[in-house]
């Protein structure tokens, strides 16, 4: 971990909450021949177009593309459905489309320059999916294009593994951040110090395990999310015969016992898990918690069951000033992620 230069925290930067105003949302358009959607790219395009359109109706959509040919193709796909005046393309090639994890993690402060970018190391969730060389340099390239200060923390961290409340607290999981395939030389205390220094947080709230089928070793954005300073939604599985029941119940009990640094207890809202989805003998990590909070909307992963309506209603109560947009993810989840995994917000200044 780098310690020679002033850290973002020392300079007054911190990571805002996702519901705070955005200037833009970044995504990385998938390569049809990539690993994420084997033999199914055409079937995920409708969900990608719905996601991109909903974001562009809310704020600027910035899309990383591999080539001018891909830009032409994506522009053609979007031109009949999205407000193209709010769609921008950037010549930044990526290996896979999961911008939450390989994209820039922005931090913000009151003084100028207001924004800066963290470029954490990226190793495709513990070296599971090489090559990942193009993904690893995305934040540095974006910092150059936007002419923003760049911090190189010197350790591996994916954006989907952390969820801040914008007021000093951050949710994460032991199963991911303490896994030896990320930072084997860092202790729990060392990882906490890195989160504090580079994300500008004060309090690390640790959950346990993630859901079955999640190849990220348990990203928090599939299980528990801050939706306000002291309110968290967390997925639960009442079926005691389901493999997800025990770890999600354990996380629920942890959350119910947590307090913010000022003594405020967390308000915990239970979000249902969708019905189990299997494909080619694999359980897929379908979760309504993988929603994305845009300026004027919440993009909700939907899976064609009764839990869709329940999740939409719960989120509607929690975000009364945003439109809840359920989008069918039954094909998209074959890539083992949904809308939060695909997006990365750029805070407004």
Q: Please spell the DSSP secondary structure of 126-194, one letter per residue.
A: HHTS---HHHHTHHHHHHHHHT--EE--SSB--GGG-EE-SSSEEEEEHHHHT-TTT-TT--HHHHHHH
- Helices 41-56 and 68-78: crossing angle, nearest 10°? 70
Q: If residue 315 lies in a helix (H) or strand (E), which one and from where to where?
A: helix 306-318
Q: Among 99, 176, 329, 341, which one carries the catalytic annotation?
A: 341
Task: Assess contact for 70 and 119: CB atoms under 8 A.
Answer: no
- Is position 176 annotated as part of the catalytic site? no
Beta bridge partners of 63: 27, 89
Count of CB atoms within 10 A of residue 205's CB?
A: 21
**Phi and psi for 200 in degrees, rounded to 5?**
70, 30
> What are the tokens at 80?
């009949």
Active site residues: 341
């Amino acid at each position: 971990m780098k310690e020679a230069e002033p850290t973002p925290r020392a300079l007054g930067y911190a990571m805002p909450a996702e519901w705070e105003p955005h200037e833009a949302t970044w995504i990385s358009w998938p390569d049809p021949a990539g690993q994420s959607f084997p033999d199914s790219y055409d079937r995920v395009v409708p969900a990608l177009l719905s996601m991109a359109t909903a974001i562009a109706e809310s704020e600027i959509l910035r899309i990383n593309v591999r080539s001018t040919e891909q830009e032409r193709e994506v522009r053609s796909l979007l031109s009949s459905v999205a407000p193209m005046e709010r769609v921008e393309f950037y010549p930044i090639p990526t290996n896979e489309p999961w911008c939450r994890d390989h994209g820039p993690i922005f931090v913000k402060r009151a003084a100028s320059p207001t924004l800066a970018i963290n470029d954490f190391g990226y190793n495709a969730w513990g070296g599971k999916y090489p090559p990942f060389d193009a993904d690893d340099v995305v934040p540095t390239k974006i910092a150059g294009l936007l002419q923003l200060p760049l911090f190189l923390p010197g350790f591996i961290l994916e954006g989907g593994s952390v969820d801040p409340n914008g007021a000093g607290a951050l949710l994460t999981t032991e199963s991911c951040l303490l896994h030896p395939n990320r930072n084997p030389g860092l202790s729990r205390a060392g990882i906490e110090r890195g989160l504090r220094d580079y994300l500008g947080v004060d309090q690390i709230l640790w959950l346990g395990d993630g859901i079955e089928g999640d190849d990220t070793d348990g990203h928090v954005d599939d299980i528990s999310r801050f939706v306000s300073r002291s309110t968290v939604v967390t997925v639960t599985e009442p079926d005691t015969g389901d493999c997800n029941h025990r770890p999600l119940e354990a996380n629920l009990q942890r959350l119910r016992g947590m307090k913010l640094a000022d003594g405020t207890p967390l308000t915990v809202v239970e979000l249902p898990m969708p019905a189990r989805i299997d494909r080619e003998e694999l359980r897929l990590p379908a979760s309504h918690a993988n929603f994305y909070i845009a300026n004027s909307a919440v993009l909700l992963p939907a899976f064609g069951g009764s839990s869709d309506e329940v999740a939409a209603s719960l989120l509607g109560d929690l975000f009364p000033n945003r439109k809840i947009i359920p989008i069918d993810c039954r094909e998209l989840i074959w890539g083992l992620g949904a809308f939060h995994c695909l997006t990365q917000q750029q805070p407004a200044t």
